[in-house]
Amino acid sequence: MKSTRDCLQATSDYVRSFRNSSPYINAHRGRTFVVLLDGQGIQHPNFANIINDLALLNSLGVRLVLAYGARPQIMERLERRGLSLEYAGARPVITNEVLEAVKDAAGSAGIDIQSRLSMGLPNSPMHGASLRVATGNMITARPVGVIDGKDFGHTGQVRKVDCDAINRQLDDRAIVLLPPLGFSPTGEVFSLSVEEVATRAAIELKADKLVVFSERQGLLDDTGEVIRVMPPREAGRRLETLDETSGGYAALHAAWQTSRFGVNRAHLISYQQDGALIEELFTRNGGGTMITQELYEQVRDATIEDVGGILELIRPLEEQGVLVRRSRERLENEIDLFTVVELDGMMIGCAALYPFGEEGIGELACVAVHRQYQGGQRGDLILQHIEKRANRIGLNRLFVLTTHTAHWFRERGFEPADVDALPRARQELYNWQRNSKVFVKAL
């Protein structure tokens, strides 16, 4: 008979990733996502894929609001008419003539999006499935007016988002399309920034997510790696270092703003990369940068609910003989001794601390980090947490018995020791057959 491990290896990548994505398929159903796609994204060759992925989300029951921009399309039209756009700071001045180009460009981009969405899901049984798009005067605007003597003309600001109207359409499973235009009760039209439309809509609809498509894949750290998660406070600090007119500013500002006003997760992804939306939404790690207040990954004391997750995590290691086998009963009895690392609801690391109070020493045992998350800092996080726990209960030394990972412990301050160094009760249980090495660390 095949062992579980052989079967695991035979599981195809496709099957594994489908299984991994299923929690998110369920989690996203019925949720409201606001998506921001600027005019550059619409012009990009990947636009067709983005629209197909949005259709897919709609078919999975996600309530979708798509706010789009049309800046380069507006510029093209102005150029053709021999007009130019004047800016004051990051804000354009929209004269009567410019407004005509804005209406043309925004209207035409909106129609392109609608026609693409009308195809349903290409290459699928849902091809041609009627997918409804709702658009209209859902944003009320007011003029920016005159600032420092400068009249901004038809440049507007969002005054009100008609949440009732939008929600009715979403209830009806339509995708709501928001142009970068706002209307006033006096019959005027104002040009709005797509970032403001998306931000206000996400906040006022109490959306679960804002997804911002921008040129880059997200925010990068000093080594050029994508930063996976960032708390709003740090995003705010980053904004201060950016020039208001620079490329990434508007996208990051939108994500930061929504996350400060109750939108749980704001995601920055690239409009250039095929499948970026799917990867971000249906994998645990995502592909871009997520701005969130939540504890997306946390190290904490285990509770009885974690037993199942811990078992799943340590089974493969038990089968390889790296860890000693533990039964569910034993784990349930000892759960208070465990520390776990949880990533978006999945157990990715654990360890236990068995105290020997009289001797002032504790055993660090059952240290495990999920295969896909090794090589990061998880092991260290767990060790730090365990050391704090040990201090809290008055222990001054830790020991560990290991057959496979001696170097890892040595690098973290553990020194080789004899079996005599173990507390008496533990010496009696020492399994000479396993011939584990003993390491001790003073705290």
Minimum separation from the CB atom of position 280 to ligand ARG (A): 6
- Per-residue binding string, ligand ARG, 303-342, x by CB under 6 A, is ----------------------------------------
Size of site (CB under 6 A) for ligand ARG = 15
- Figure out which of the listed residues 137, 285, 293, 405 binds ligand ARG, where binding follows CB under 6 A: 285
Instruction: List the one residue from 49, 140, 283, 403 that touches ligand ARG (CB under 6 A).
Output: 283
Dihedral of CA atoms 415, 419, 424, 428 in degrees, nearest 10, equals: 140
Residues 213 and 41 sit within 8 Å (Cβ to Cβ) = yes
Q: Which of residues 253-272 bind ligand ARG (CB under 6 A)?
A: 265
Phi, psi of 375 (to 5 degrees): 90, -10
Exposure string (b/e) for 273-288, b if CB count within 10 Å is 16 or more? beebbbbbbbebebbb
Residue 216 binding ligand ARG, by CB under 6 A? no
Nearer to ligand ARG, 106 or 263 (CB): 263
Q: Is 363 in the site for ligand ARG (CB under 6 A)?
A: no
Distances (CA, A) of 225 to 196, 220, 306, 367, 377: 28, 5, 32, 28, 16
Residue 101 near residue 74, CB atoms below 8 Å: yes
Contact 191, 96 (CB under 8 A): no
In the complex, which residue's CB is closest to ligand ARG? Answer: 286
Q: Closest approach of Cβ 235 to ligand ARG, in Å?
A: 13
Q: Is 20 in the site for ligand ARG (CB under 6 A)?
A: no
Query: In the bound complex, what is the minimum distance in angstroms from residue 228's beta carbon to ligand ARG?
Result: 4
State the amino acid at position 132 in one-letter form.
Answer: R
CB of 195 to ligand ARG, least distance (A): 20
Q: Is 289 in the site for ligand ARG (CB under 6 A)?
A: yes
| DSSP codes joined into one string, 295-326 | -SEEEEE--GGGHHHHHHHHHHHHHTTSS---
192 binding ligand ARG? (CB under 6 A): no
Residue 344 binds ligand ARG, judged by CB under 6 A? yes
What is the rounded CA–CA span in Å between residue 344 and residue 286? Answer: 11
| Helix, strand, coil in percent for the chain, rounding step 5 | 40, 25, 30
Residues that bind ligand ARG (CB under 6 A): 24, 228-229, 265, 280-286, 288-290, 344
